[in-house]
Structure 1
């Protein structure tokens, strides 16, 4: 969900489940990894930053789901 929102202009996101390598790269990009050829593979810091963003988004989705369930129960 986050990758589709923050994708590059010329990037297409394939349907289906990404590989571990692709998912790691996407998480690193969310954490600030640029992917320049001189930079090497993503390190632990951009991956950790990306995981923090994923965690926040997951908590929001969970909270929205819980509030929707509570609303249905109140009806």
Structure 2
């Protein structure tokens, strides 16, 4: 393609992207706080399981997941 045609194609793609990006941003800003008066329900997340570092020299499996009780049953 000639450079002039390439430049037009690139600028058209950039304009389309910029238009969609600005529309998405504008709609998000407009919709902030518009949840029909309902509030977001927050609740306790519960207990989170953390990884436990393995005490061996095997570097292929660095962590076991679960609690100490589960680990001792293996």
TM-score (norm 1): 0.38
Higher helix share: 1
Q: Which has the greater radius of gyration?
A: 2
Higher strand share: 2
TM-score (norm 2): 0.38
Indicate the structure whose relative CO is greater, using CA pairs within 8 Å and at least 6 residues apart: 1
